[in-house]
A and B are shown apart, each in its own frame.
Chain A
Amino acid sequence: MSVSPSTMAAVRASGAVPQAEYLLNAENVRKEFPGVLALDNVQFRLKRGTVHALMGENGAGKSTLMKILAGIYIPDQGEVYLKGLPIRLKSPLDALENGIAMIHQELNLMPFMTVAENIWIRREPKNSFGFVDHGKMYEMTAELFKRLNISLDPESQVRDLSVANRQMVEIAKAVSYESDVLIMDEPTSALTEREVEHLFQIIRDLRAQGIGIVYITHKMNELFEIADEFSVFRDGRFIGTHASTDVTRDDIIKMMVGREITQMFPKEIVPIGDVVLSVKDLSLKRVFRDVSFDVRAGEILGIAGLVGSGRSNVAETIFGVTPATTGTISINGTPVKINTPTQAIAHGMAFLTEDRKDTGCLLILDVLENMQIAVLQDRFVKYGFVAEKQIAKACKTMSDTLRIKTPNLQETVENLSGGNQQKVLIGRWLLTNPKILILDEPTRGIDVGAKAEIHRLISQLAKTGVAVIMISSEMPEVLGMSDRIMVMHEGRVTGFLDREEATQVKVMELASK
């Protein structure tokens, strides 16, 4: 039925393979996990020398399909064809040796080794004594970088590189395997505008060399900018493949959610009250300087700026994660000292962090345990004992209000989709009845439907008089949700824009000045 990878390699080497229509295609693929049908008879067809985007909400099956193509999962049914020949991949290494390379969202590099060592690991050039020939290795790396137009020192350690540069190393590594297929999972999620431009240039070069690129993204603009074709998935089913020139943004959203989203940013205009949080000349050594702003009850203050502008650091400092070097924070007009998150919470603050996995979820614990953890600081506890029934009831109500999709509160959070994990974390903070809510990238990596729900929720909270600070890299989100926008650049506030005057161009000007 299917050909083993070694046979495949032999057949390829013999040159007996006719030019297939597709570089890589999957037909009638089905994959089931306990309790979930992740892929239901889907197809995927990648043409040579094209960028093919995979679109769909979280849980639509993109990741599962991608992992099947990269040899991480083995499909229950269906066939994968590489250049027209059926192939059954047993492991990621197997895939790599057959010319399919995957660049993960979490980059898989060894931080304490050099760039060159990372690229040629397992295939190091050896000298006549059988030792690694570092000189040759650096040469090979330099050559590779030249071909890809990457300017990086092959001898630098990976831990000293920025996320963008690490990604370049990963891409170079994939190319060094003479890969025909490159799978990229949301490669731009942590890159600045300029870095994205560079990445796209490299992708275009690779495409011109005949490499097929599978590109997973949540960002619609990228689709139009870089992709030739795209396939949409929904609830584990294949919806369709189209050329990206044939459709509009709305068409794609319709395909992804199966319904029309009329209003993406249901911002309600609500009366704005007194100043709740006032930050004056806040500085954190070598990170940001002289940040001053006020947030009023009912107001949504958006903070925009490029990655690395210090936006998240300001939030962390206000919340006591990294206490300020100088400056004052006042709540309701009274200066307060906030050196730990515990103190911040006691002052009615809540902080939804940027990184769900690292600083948000207790992944191995269940929904209830995740939701209750912050509120237990001062409520639902008597003589040290937790009022189990009351807290379970409160969490259930919260879970229903937020429409968290989970079989029950005893489900491990790890098994929830990104959007639902985010809702659990929002629930964790709402249980504390915050007066000041700081949201750092509240909808990152979340599907369109859940995004709209979270936006609606933020609006509702503002309506009840909560002062909201929302940091976001997504321009439409910042413009659509904020009453006022504070823009940062390289650790300084470069300006404020009112809702009426704010445009994408004005924000970008301030963010890069």
Chain B
Amino acid sequence: MTSEPVTAKTTTPTLTPKSRRRLPPEVNILLVLVGIALIFEILGWIFAGQSFLMNFQRLRIIILQVSVIGIIAVGVTQVIITGGVDLSSGSVVGMTAMIAASFAQSSTWARPVYPALTDLPFFIPIGVGLGIGLLAGIVNGWLIAYTKIPPFIATLGMMVSARGVAKWYTKGQPVSGLTDQFNFIGTGIWPVVVFLLVALIFHVALRYTRYGKFTYAIGANAQAARVSGIDIEKHLIKVYAIAGLLAGLAGIVTAARAQTAQAGMGVTYELDAIAAAVIGGTSLTGGVGRITGTVIGAIILGVMISGFTFLRVDAYYQEIIKGVIIVAAVIVDVYRQKKRKV
């Protein structure tokens, strides 16, 4: 009734630049992670009578499970920043796992794929795996850059074909009897080390190198980037090649962890990787996203899966809830974009 609140409102001073300084966007995502972990902690005491977080074994499994998805997500994040998407990474994991493993078999194994090529030093299967992943990525990038087909279609094609290669390679038979040298990369904390190293390298690349600046520029406005002298085609091939390379690396780690390779490895990993990126604040419209966010996004996914299992939530429900969370993350992204515009 009184006019007081109105006058109070009108005297709000215009904001100075200093007070507008924003916190890095990762802080929000980190808070979400902490919140989710605390919810599981409380629910743990209520329903399971034990702590969720104070269990080293569980934390170790979470971080290990996150690693493979995380490695892929680092590549996928860069693709999404350019305004694209990569649906092929899960299949590339399967394909590279099979092919790399076939060069990592021990002579003690009864039926190796290449009987003449057993007991090779570890760097050969790893090199082959990375090469296959890189090749898949280059094909993706080339298709997108030069034939101008949408990334969704190009990588969908690769998704189907790479899975086909994985199955055709041994006619569906698993590849086992891998050398200890090769398996080493999947033991202990090594997958986590690989993941964090990859994340660090590409965090630096995105933030401090020309490669990074160009990646964001293309995602923000490809036409403007082109006029500014960026060779968009070449750059897109680079980005997709990196995504392929990292999917290949994830395939190697997956095979080494399992000490065997199967054609079905990595199914739906691409979706988890995209989910990690989106939950971590990468915008599907391009131009926005950070590796640090993606790392936290991947950990959020891992914590949730572990938390649901810990609370004995049915696996079917887990998938349903995961789907809801991914959609919710995109809704938050859309909302953020809208708020920025007004």
Contacts and interface: CB of A to CB of B under 8 A. Distances in A.
Given A37-B14, A362-B217, A407 B20 contact: yes
B229 A342 contact: yes
Nearest to A411: B17
Interface in A354-383: 358-365, 369, 372-374, 376-377, 381
A127 interface: no
A376 B227 contact: no
A319 interface: yes
B231 interface: yes
Nearest to B15: A35
Contact of B224 (A342, A361, A376): A361
B208 A341 contact: no
Contacts of B226: 321, 341
A247 interface: no
Nearest to B221: A362
Task: Point out which of B14, B17, B224, B229 has the most chain A C-beta atoms below 10 A from its C-beta.
Answer: B229
Interface string B1-40: 0000010011010111100100000000000000000000
Contacts of B216: 362, 365, 369
Interface centre among B15, B217, B342 (most CB of A within 10 A): B217
A428 interface: yes
Contacts of A30: 10
A388 B217 CA distance: 16
A342 B233 CA distance: 12
A34 B208 contact: no
Contact of A407 (B17, B217, B228): B17
Given A35-B20, A369-B213, A385-B208, A364 B229 contact: no
Contacts of A407: 16-17, 20
Interface centre among A362, A369, A385, by most chain B C-beta atoms within 10 angstroms, is A362
Contacts of B230: 342, 373, 377
A386 B209 contact: yes
Contact of A362 (B14, B210, B224): B224
Contacts of B342: 33
Chain B residues touching A, range: 20 to 34
A50 interface: no
Nearest to A35: B15
Nearest to B233: A340
Contacts of B209: 384-386
B335 to A, nearest CB: 15
A36 B17 contact: no
B148 interface: no
Q: Which of B214, B220, B225, B341 lies at the interface centre, i.e. has the most chain A CB atoms within 10 A of its CB?
A: B220
B223 A374 contact: no
B211 interface: yes
A414 interface: yes
A5 B252 CA distance: 65
B217 A369 contact: yes
A433 B13 CA distance: 41
A319 B340 contact: no
Contact of A359 (B17, B220, B224, B341): B224
Given A363-B221, A365-B287, A386-B213, A319 B227 contact: yes
A353 interface: yes
Interface string A382-407: 00111010000000000000000001
Given A341-B229, A351-B227, A386 B220 contact: no
B69 interface: no
A364 B287 contact: yes
Contacts of B211: 384
Interface string B197-238: 000000000001111011011001101111111110000000
10 cross-chain pairs, A with B, having the tightest CB-CB distances, nearest first: A407-B17, A362-B220, A345-B229, A35-B15, A374-B228, A359-B223, A342-B229, A384-B209, A373-B228, A377-B229
Interface of A: 30, 32-37, 76-77, 319, 321, 340-342, 344-345, 351, 353, 358-365, 369, 372-374, 376-377, 381, 384-386, 388, 407-408, 412, 414, 428
Given A373-B217, A374-B228, 11 more contacts: A342-B229, A345-B228, A351-B227, A353-B224, A361-B224, A365-B216, A365-B287, A373-B225, A376-B214, A381-B210, A385-B210
